[in-house]
Amino acid sequence: MSPRTPAEPATTRVSRLLTMVPWLVSRQGIALSEAAEGLGVSEQQLRDDLDLLFMCGYGPMTDELIDVSYEQGHVYIDNAETISRPLRLGVAEATTIIVGLRALEASGVGPSDAVRRALATLEQATGSLPGIDRVGVVAEGERDHEVLQSASSAVQQRRRVHLTYLVPSRDERTERDVDPMRVVALDGHWYLEGWCHLAQDTRLFRLDRVEAIELLDVDGTPPPQAVSRDLSQGAYSGAPDDRVVTLLLRPRARWVAEYYPTLSQEEVGEALRVRLTARDDAWLARLVLGCGGHAVLEAPQPAVDAVRARALAALSGYAG
C-alpha cells in the first residue's frame, strides 16, 4: 500500500484543487506522471486530489459531480465546466460582497487579515465599476461599535465578560457574567451568544441593549452543557415549556407571522389565525398591544386575562 499524503491545511488543498482542475481540463489525456510534474506535486498527492474530485460538484446528484478517470495512466476530467473557467461577478454580486466584507471589517468580528486580503483582491478587480468607490459602511454609533469589538475580542480570546444588560420586556437592568460563544448578525442586529451564569443557560444578548461590557481576566470557555441555538428561524425561538397562544392577525399585523416562527397558520377572510409560543405574559402583552388593535389574542384564557389586565392598567393612566 502506498503511503498516504501528510495532512495539510484545508485552505492549501482547496487552492490547489481550484488551480488543478482548469489546468487538467485543458490537457485532457495527459499522463499521470507528467501531470504531477507539471503541477509540482507527487503522483500520490495527485491521486489523492483526483479521488477527492469525485465528490465535488455543484449538486449531490451523479450528473452534477465532476467525473475523473486516470485508470490507464492518463487523466481525463469531465463535467467540470463550473470551475474550469475564472469566476465572473456581475455588478450587483460584486457590490454585495464588497459591502459584506466592509461590514465584517468594520465590526472586527472576522479575521481582519483575511478580510482585508479578500477586499483588496475584489476592489482591484472591480475598481472600474462606476460608483464602487463610494460604497461604504457607517457604524451606527461609537458606543455600539465599541461594544461589538469588545464582544468579538472576548470570543476570540476566550475571556468571560460582565454585562450590564437592559431587558425591555421587564424594563429592568441586570448584571450578569457570560462565557461568550459567538457573535452573530441577525435581522439587522448584532448578538452575543454565550453561557449566562445568572440564568445557568445559553442566552442571546442583543448588543444594542448592552449598556456596559467588561472583559474579565477569567477563562471564558463555556461549560460542556452550553449548546448554540438554532437561529435558522430568527433570533427568537420558543423554549419547549413556553405557552402556546392563538392570535388573530388582521392585515396590518400579518407581519407577526413573518417575523416570528409559528406552529400553524389559517386564513380567516382577510385575517390570519396563527399559533405560536410566547415566552411570558409581559412579552405577549407588548406584542399584542404594540399591534394597536390589529392583533387579537384568542387563547388560552389565562393569557387573554393577563393581557387585558395590562391594557386596562395602561388605560388607567389616561383617566382624564
Q: Is the confidence at residue 288, as pLDDT, over 70?
A: yes
Residue 11 has pLDDT above 90, yes or no: no
What's the pLDDT tens digit per position in 29-84? Answer: 899 889 889 888 888 888 888 888 877 776 667 667 888 888 788 888 888 776 66
| SS3 labels along the chain | CCCCCCCCCHHHHHHHHHHHHHHHHCCCCEEHHHHHHHHCCCHHHHHHHHHHHCCCECCCCHHHECEEECCCCEEEEECCHHHCCCCCCCHHHHHHHHHHHHHHHHHCCCCHHHHHHHHHHHHHHHCCCCCHHHCCCCCCCHHHHHHHHHHHHHHHHCEEEEEEEEECCCCEEEEEEEEEEEEEEECCEEEEEEEECCCCEEEEEEHHHEEEEEEEEEECCCCCCCCCCCCCCCCCCCCCCCEEEEEEECHHHCHHHHHCCCCEEEEECCEEEEEEEECCHHHHHHHHHHCCCCEEEEECHHHHHHHHHHHHHHHHHHCC
Return the minimum-mean-pLDDT range out of 164-168, 249-253, 263-267. Answer: 164-168
State the pLDDT confidence band at 134, using cuts at 50, 70 and 90.
low
250 vs 137, more confident:
250
Query: Which of 246, 241, 234 is CA-nearest to residue 303?
Result: 246
Q: Is the pLDDT of residue 296 over 60?
A: yes
Each residue's pLDDT tens digit, 199-211: 888 888 988 889 9
Q: How far apart are CA 163 and CA 66, in angstroms?
A: 51
The arithmetic mean of pLDDT across residues 214-222, rounded, is 93
**Is the pLDDT at 305 greater than 90, yes or no?**
yes
> Is pLDDT above 90 for 232?
no
